[in-house]
Amino acid sequence: MRTLVAIPVYNEQRYVQQVLERVLAHAPDVLVIDDGSTDATPLLLSQFPVEVIRHARNRGYGRSLMDAFRWAATDHFDWVITMDCDDQHEPASIPDFVDAITRGDADLISGSRYLAPSIDDDRPPPERRKINAEITSEINRRLGLSITDAFCGFKAYRVRAIRDLRLDVDGYAFPLQFWVQAVAAGLRIREIPVKLIYNDLNRSFGGPLDNQQVRLAHYRTVLYRELQRCADRLPPSAIEGLASIGAKG
């Protein structure tokens, strides 16, 4: 079994060295997707034995993940583990994902910062936790899931299982499209606990998405569009009430 660790980065000169040092202690195959960094991140990446995809301009979090999936499929990896580079995902948890992979009972292993909270965990910004809770609850109700953290980027994906998904959301709403397509494709989903770490409570989503209501509306627009696109492969609960709230396909 071959496993790739893929790390999207954007202007992460503050953290990239310490993160990569710790990741390489657990994983020999590492891919970094540099999403158009304008700081010293590209120079720092050159100091490490990692593969690098570089976007000439910022393309978005979702595009970085899609590039990682394509790389993993082309290079015949069996699994790809994704994690962030802002020191909010603990590289020491990589073996936990590998252990879950070896059980062989899942196609998607999703980290959850809320599955088994620890007294050592940080407190998330209230508005971010609120949006996560609202969207997670709606995903569970519509898709028949019981996940606890819809937005955690620390995940392991079975490459063969996601190869035929039609993913095209470039930005931060990528998880909403992915959850819908994962259920539509019949992927087996498990959650495992990961530590809740928030180093920067003021971290920006960029532009209008920093506004809580704008961000929540954007997430729901992407979610509802994808529910309608995949309606024929989803439970009836998936599209209940969509027409009445003006969702568009």
Integer Rg of the chain from CA:
17
Q: Is the pLDDT of residue 119 over 60?
A: no
Which range (97-106, 107-116, 141-150) has the least confidence? 107-116
Band of pLDDT at residue 126, cut at 50, 70 and 90: confident
Q: At what angle do helices 212-229 and 174-184 cross, to 10 degrees?
A: 20
Q: Which of 77, 47, 53 is nearest to 157 (CA)?
A: 77
pLDDT for 78-93, tens place per residue? Answer: 999 999 988 778 899 9
Angle at 223 between CA 244 and CA 94, to 5 degrees: 155
pLDDT digit string (tens) for 5-46?
999 999 999 999 999 999 999 999 999 999 999 999 999 999
Question: Per DSSP, what are the bridge partners of residue 109?
Answer: 156, 190
| In the chain, % of residues over pLDDT 90 | 78
Residue 248 has pLDDT above 50, yes or no: no
All domains of the chain in start order, with CATH: 3-203 (3.90.550.10)
Helix or strand run (H / E) with residue 76: none
pLDDT on residue 247: 45
